[in-house]
Structure 1
Amino acid sequence: MIQEVTGNRNVSFLSAGFSGIHHMRYYYIFLFIAYFISFLGNSCLMFVIITDRNLHTPKYIVVFNLSLTDICESTAVIPQLLEAFLFGNQLISYGLCMSNMFSDMLFVSVRSLTLTVLSFDRLVTICLPLRYHMIVTHRSMLVMIGASWTLALMQTITAAVFMTRLSFCRTSIIIICLCDNGSVFPSCVIMSVLFQVIIVLPVFCIIFSYKCIAVTLFSITTPQGHQRATKTCTAHLILVAVFYVPTCLTYVFQVLVSINTIIIILSLTLALPPMFNPIIYTFMTKEFMASVKRLIRKRIMFSSRIPTVFQL
């Protein structure tokens, strides 16, 4: 029986997510594979960026931050889902629920702001190519990344102050698979405003950036220029689409689709963006592929020299 929850720290939440969906064992296998690819792929992406000096550029500082954020978010969320499935533990303590909620809010906000920083990089690359190295520097990118983390932390800390002073709304049963401010505090306007501002505002900034890029593209007369500019933006646009489109569609059409569909889509928004980030930058960015090939070539040359050394 669902009861109103008026206390805060002495309650455990019951996660009802996935319980009504058939053949969920296959979906959990998919989540495990997605997490493995995400962790391994982003770790390799960060390793290549650190190792190859050719990638020590302002743009790849932001890409490194995006990979770090993806690892942190997927590690904070997906293992908990797998634990609930493997051990049948659907009870979530107050402390774990708050930690889950705050970490998700923090890393989603940082990713949203990081994608905005990348859109700024694309904007300057296409609209102001002659001034790119003056505007987009290591210092400017580090400042923007630091500002992204600061804004996300301020939002999360503000949310924590309000949330720990609120009573839980309606029920201690969580309809979706994880704690979030919508399932635990569905009537808290302050939490919704904080979360929407740090998600919606970056969307408008990205749209404005690509509006300026589109205007510049219309002024380019050569096919080679159009093709080069399109390739420059393709990887970033795919990352933006993978991150924002499923969430937006869920909230727009949530009245028309079933709760199980919403649960699947929301869980995919947690698993797919971290998994696609390294794949996109590995196969769609020539400079990164060139760095990977150089590292592999050096590794092969190093391995071929080892037997010669031992023979001597």
Structure 2
Amino acid sequence: MRKMNQSLVSEFLLLGLSWQPQQQQPLFLLFLIMYLATVLGNLLIILAIGTDSRLHTPMYFFLCNLSFVDVCFSSTTVPKVLANHVLGNQAISFSGCLTQIYFLYVFADMDTFLLTVMAYDRFVDICHPLHYTTKMNHQLCAQLVAGSWVIANLNILLHTLLMARLSFCADNAIPNSCAVSPLLKLSCSNTHLNEMILTEGSLIMFIPFVYILASYIHITGAVLTVPPSRGRWKAFSICGSHLDVVLLFYGTIIAVYFNPSSSYSVEKDMAATVLYIVVTPMLNPFIYSLRNGDLKRAPWKVVHREPFSF
């Protein structure tokens, strides 16, 4: 534990887009374009699902919630980074940093839970098709989403309260978003309890991933053991987009949080964080739209819909 013989830190400095002045303007434009693409792409998915009655099914209900969470996930950090660049101010208050941590991890947990719920939906649809409509009813779908929100908020509230009790001395520079691990490294308090709770947080990410893999093992076995059926193979093909999103999401998590300490660098951490917070939510609507015929056609119907024709 560091000696607390230095003045306590009341605010942090976000390192920003780049340390190289000639790179900051191009990176600002790139971040702005990716953020706008994330917001517009996911909002179009939500609008398409909401206005097309054929898409009012459990799978698209969960996808609609995932798109909403992705918009909120990127909006937690990216606007602050862009605003700091425009205003030339890198500072963020301690309370503002805690708030950013809270919402960032809530939406990250929600991404995990929704991907798990979507895997369960695919499992029931393909492995138990005769019971799908009775099992995946509206009440269960609402309970799964509501339960995910409750668990995510309770889990992150514990992390945030433990972070609020820490003190920070001297060093106050962090990457372009507030996160638990970088702040623990800067703290001059005893962080042993925080690190123990952080292990629990990693289990919340790991256990759903194991369940998703187990679900798709059963799904693959169910598809391969029945005669070819257009409906069954169509349902299985829809799983491809979900698997792509799962691999992209967990691949970036591994890049951010499971790098060996010997290979750690601020530049690598910033790049991995950008991939996790900006790129993944931006690509999700494109992945689902390109690999799903019904969803691919729905946005065009929204765009070309005649005014006041419902």
Q: TM-score range by the shorter chain?
A: 0.7 to 0.9
Aligned match of 2:216: 210
Cα distance in structure 2, aligned partners of 1:97 and 1:221: 55
Could you say what secondary structure the match of 1:202 adopts?
A: helix
The code of the aligned residue for 1:158 comes to L
Cα distance in structure 2, aligned partners of 1:25 and 1:294: 37
Question: How big is the shift at 1:120?
Answer: 0.6
Note the 1:1-312 alignment, pairs <5 A: 11-16=10-15, 18-20=17-19, 23-168=23-168, 172-186=171-185, 187=191, 188-222=194-228, 227-254=233-260, 255-256=262-263, 258-299=265-306
Cα distance in structure 1, aligned partners of 2:55 and 2:74: 25
Measured at CA, do residues 18 and 165 of structure 1 come closer, stay the same or move farther in structure 2, by a change above 3 Å? Answer: same
Measured at CA, do residues 297 and 35 of structure 1 come closer, stay the same or move farther in structure 2, by a change above 3 Å? Answer: closer
Cα distance in structure 2, aligned partners of 1:121 and 1:265: 30
Q: Deviations along 1:114-140, whole A, 9 cap, x unmatched? A: 111111111112111121111111111
Question: How big is the shift at 1:231?
Answer: 1.1
8 Å Cα contact 2:62-2:118 kept in structure 1: yes
Structure 2, unpaired ranges of 5+: 186-190
Q: Deviations along 1:63-103, whole A, 9 cap, x unmatched? A: 11111111111111100111122222111111111111111
Cα distance in structure 2, aligned partners of 1:5 and 1:181: 24
Structure 1, unpaired ranges of 5+: 303-312
Question: How big is the shift at 1:224?
Answer: 5.0
Could you say what secondary structure the match of 2:148 adopts?
A: helix
Could you say what secondary structure the match of 2:12 adopts?
A: strand
TM-score with structure 2 setting the length: 0.86
8 Å Cα contact 1:17-1:174 kept in structure 2: no
Percent sequence identity is: 26
Measured at CA, do residues 191 and 177 of structure 1 come closer, stay the same or move farther in structure 2, by a change above 3 Å? Answer: farther
TM-score with structure 1 setting the length: 0.86
Q: Deviations along 1:205-238, whole A, 9 cap, x unmatched? A: 1111112112223313438577435412111011
Question: How big is the shift at 1:289?
Answer: 2.7
> How many residues are aligned here?
299
Measured at CA, do residues 4 and 209 of structure 1 come closer, stay the same or move farther in structure 2, by a change above 3 Å? Answer: farther
Could you say what secondary structure the match of 1:14 adopts?
A: strand
